[in-house]
């Protein structure tokens, strides 16, 4: 018996869920070339516009000239270079924690932390809308896996009362497809009552939230006593690549000893750590980036409401337009692309059935003029989509 892959692919096409990779033929930025066409992109996670920053590029080039282009081996063999060490120290200082540990990707960081901390006989409790990497980590850990209702502290309380062993509560800081914030004060209070640890994956909060850009934990004024495990990625607001975990001395040493995705993989290029150090410096000193981003978010939400679009409860650069039907979401994305705007349609299984959406993401690299062009095109395309629906009905 052979694998019937053709049928699986045909079913996905028929359900309007088939995915294709756009070919980026330029550097990241507000203006890009995709599949041979110049477009204004509103779908990147480069929230602070650092992915193509000249100083970050120069830091990468200087790092490569001195340290080469490959990590060479795992951190525990001979791959832990001086730039890695300096970046870990800088990230620990930035987050206000004793230590930080670099991972090659955010997926590996989440997998490494969860599987190192809990196993058979323990419990891992996760928000229903957590990122796939967190859910996969929970399932693979061997611990009792439980999902509480989205951002619902009472649901978490109920599940914690039935949990056993070491208990780890896991949540996104900013939910990547909805853009809303985890209610960390309430979740942490429930965890504390149950003597459980809290792990926050703040991939989309670092750089955009908090007084200094240190993320959702800073935004809420919480610390290591409330959030014992803090995970951040470097490929979004930082504009580079990789991830880190910040926490206590004992936590980081435990990950060094037991986190298999850390132990058994080659370190990231040292030059990448050099570039990220420069990104961190820019993130901390150029406050105008977050201020401009806040202006863009406010104006987009105002303009979208005037058009009559259904937005989600998001104060972040992630501004999803809820459509519902996958076919209509694809059509709206197509109409915008015909007008020179790139906005991705997000469909199941990435989001729950019946909640297909256009995921607009804003960046400090966008100008107010570009945003106004997006709003104008959305108004035109939304009206056209309504006419097409009426004609079809």
Q: Where are the alpha helices (DSSP H) in 68-105?
A: 82-95
176 in active site:
yes
Residue 243 near residue 102, CB atoms below 8 Å: yes
267 in active site:
no
Give the helix, strand, coil percentages of the chain, each rounded to 5: 45, 15, 40
192 in active site:
no
Q: How far is CA 263 from CA 48, 76, 135, in A?
A: 31, 7, 21
Measure the CA–CA gap between 260 and 116, rounded to whole angstroms. Answer: 8
Residue 371 near residue 362, CB atoms below 8 Å: yes
**Pick the catalytic residue: 53, 80, 236, 292?**
236
**Pick the catalytic residue: 176, 314, 326, 363?**
176
DSSP 221: T
Task: For helices 132-140 and 106-117, give the axis angle rounded to 10 degrees.
Answer: 30
Neighbouring-strand partners of residue 245: 101, 231
Q: Which residue in 178, 182, 181 sits closest to 169, CA to CA? A: 182
Residues serving a catalytic function are 176, 204, 236
């Amino acid at each position: 018996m052979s694998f019937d892959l053709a049928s699986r692919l045909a079913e996905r096409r028929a359900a309007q869920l088939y995915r294709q990779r756009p070919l980026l033929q330029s550097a990241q930025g507000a203006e890009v070339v995709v599949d041979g066409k110049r477009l204004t992109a509103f779908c990147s996670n480069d929230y602070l516009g650092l992915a193509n920053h000249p100083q970050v590029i120069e830091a990468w080039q200087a790092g490569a000239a001195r340290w080469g282009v490959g990590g060479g081996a795992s951190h525990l063999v001979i791959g832990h270079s001086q730039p890695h060490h300096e970046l870990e120290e800088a990230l620990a200082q930035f987050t206000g924690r004793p230590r930080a540990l670099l991972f090659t990707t955010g997926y590996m960081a989440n997998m490494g932390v969860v599987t190192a901390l809990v196993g058979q006989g323990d419990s891992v409790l996760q928000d229903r809308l957590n990122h796939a990497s967190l859910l996969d980590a929970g399932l693979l850990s061997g611990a009792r896996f439980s999902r509480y209702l989205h951002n619902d502290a009472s649901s978490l309380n109920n599940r914690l009362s039935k949990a056993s062993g070491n208990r780890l509560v896991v949540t996104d800081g900013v939910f990547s497809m909805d853009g809303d914030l985890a209610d960390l004060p309430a979740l942490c209070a429930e965890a504390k009552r149950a003597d459980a640890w809290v792990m926050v994956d703040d991939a989309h909060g670092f750089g955009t939230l908090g007084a200094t850009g240190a993320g959702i934990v800073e935004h809420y004024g919480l610390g290591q006593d409330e959030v014992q495990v803090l995970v951040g990625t470097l490929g979004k607001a930082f504009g580079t690549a990789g991830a880190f975990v910040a926490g206590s001395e004992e936590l980081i040493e435990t990950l060094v000893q037991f986190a298999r995705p850390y132990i058994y993989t080659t370190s990231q290029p040292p030059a990448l750590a050099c570039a990220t150090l420069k990104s961190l410096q820019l993130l901390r000193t150029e406050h105008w980036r977050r201020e401009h981003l806040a202006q863009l978010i406010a104006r987009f939400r105002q303009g979208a409401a005037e058009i009559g679009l259904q937005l989600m409860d998001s104060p972040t650069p992630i501004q999803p337009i809820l459509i519902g039907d996958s076919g209509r979401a694809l059509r709206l994305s197509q109409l915008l692309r015909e007008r020179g705007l790139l906005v991705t349609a997000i469909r199941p299984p990435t989001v729950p059935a019946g909640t297909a959406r256009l995921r607009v993401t804003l960046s400090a690299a966008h100008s107010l003029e570009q945003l106004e062009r997006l709003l104008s095109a959305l108004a035109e395309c939304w009206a056209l989509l309504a006419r097409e629906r009426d004609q079809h009905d």
